[in-house]
Amino acid sequence: MHIPPRVLTVAGSDSGGGAGIQADLKTMLALGTHGMSVLTAVTAQNSLGVQGAWELPAEAVRAQFRSVVDDIGVQAVKTGMLSSAVLVETVAELLADLRVPVVIDPVGVSKHGDALLAASALDAVRTKLLPTATVATPNLDEVAQLTGVRVEEEADMRRAAAAILDFGPRWALIKGGHLTAGHGDGEQAVDLLTDGTEEHWLRAPRHDNRHTHGTGCTLAGAIAAQLAKGDTVPQAAKAAKDYVTGAIAAGFRLGGGIGPVDHGWRLRGEH
């Protein structure tokens, strides 16, 4: 009997299905793993933005986590939306006892610019959550929020990575997708993966498609899935970058705003 690698996502729900828990589970399935979830918040969300968000109690988050980990077990964990200091500290405490790879996506704002992390939680992210990370995957806005480092061009990504690594993750993946043409290579989406010694520049074609909702969740979820399958961090990041690039290329319109990336593009044989 084949039992797929088990991956746990600790994140919020996106009712529109493009990001959050929904994106994570779709990604994990597409990459041949069994996804499980700890829900941290419920959002009312669609292609236009986030209309409301309701955080779950810490005891509910803790109970979900223990229920899955103690019975089923996990081979990798990925975190997403942890909206308050209480939730950040609760999840950090739970992760500290695990001996499996952990991918921390320090979600700060949604694709539409809606705040998903209270300012009061930033210090807990820095001091409690990031030290548990095998890989931290901030985008450029999250780097600025956490470290004060503003990335204007590709060369600044090294400074950004060093600032994130100072908080304790083993690896930092600085996502440069928000760099505009004229800063670095405008024709490519460039990410930097480093542990402070090794450097891996991950480059992929920049697709002209505005329907990119869920990109960050999908990348972090894909890294976690690959780590659960036994990849090294550089192998996992490269495979995840390839997967999310295809998902962005196949992103589609839903509603009147920004549609989601297509998590199932490989399942249809699209390359």
Q: Which residues are catalytic?
A: 175, 212, 214-217
Across 168-245, the runs of DSSP E, i.e. the strands, are 171-175, 188-194, 199-205
- Kindly state the helix (H) or strand (E) to which residue 16 belongs, with its residue range: none
What are the CA-CA distances from residue 106 to residues 20, 86, 138, 230 (Å)? 12, 15, 6, 23
Sign of the CA dihedral with 109 first, then 172, 36, and 265 last = positive
Q: Rounded to the nearest 10 degrees, what angle do helices 233-249 and 215-228 cross at?
A: 140
* Eight-state DSSP code of residue 263: T
Is 234 in a helix, a strand, or coil?
Answer: helix
Distance of CA 196 to the CA centre of its chain: 20
Tokens (6 digits) for 140:
């450029």
Question: What's the length of the chain?
Answer: 271
